[in-house]
Structure formats: C-alpha cells, structure tokens
Amino acid sequence: MPELNGIALAKMMQEIKPNMNILIMTAFEIHANDLKASLPTINYGDVLIKPLKIDKVCSAVKKHLQMA
C-alpha cells in the first residue's frame, strides 16, 4: 500500500468498527511494546510473521472467526 501501512489501516478499521477482529501479517519483526503502543487492543499473538506457515494462518483465522 503506497500511502498507508498495515498498522495505520488497522487503526482506521478500529476507529470505524472497534469490535472488529484484526489479524496482522507482516514481513517485519514487531515487538510487543511497539504493537501495544500502536494498537492497544491487538494481542501479540494476533500477528503472523512471514514466511507464513499454512497451519499457523489457518489456526489464526479460525480463532478470529470463532471470536466474531
């Protein structure tokens, strides 16, 4: 996304719909403190680091669907 990064998009989504479940997938290491400062309602376990393993993606998506 040329003008918006994923964290900024997630913040906008939370402003529009605060109860929305958000799963972050990134190629960058994200430290828990940085994530909490940017997105206080996201748990560190809700971030998948690339390269992704299909079983981890499936488990995370299933978890979020059950929370919906």
Please write the tens of the pLDDT for every residue from 21-65: 888 888 888 777 887 888 887 766 678 889 999 999 999 999 888
pLDDT reported for residue 58:
94
Interatomic CA distance for residues 39 and 14, integer angstroms: 9
- Predicted TM-score (pTM) of the model is 0.68
Q: Which range marks the domain in which residue 25 is found?
A: 6-67
- Say what the pLDDT of residue 48 is: 87
Residue 16, domain member (yes or no): yes
1 domain residue, yes or no: no
Instruction: Report the number of distinct structural domains present in the chain.
Output: 1
Long-range CB contacts (within 8 A, 24+) of 39-48: 39/7, 39/10, 39/11, 39/14, 41/14, 42/10, 46/22, 47/23, 48/23, 48/24
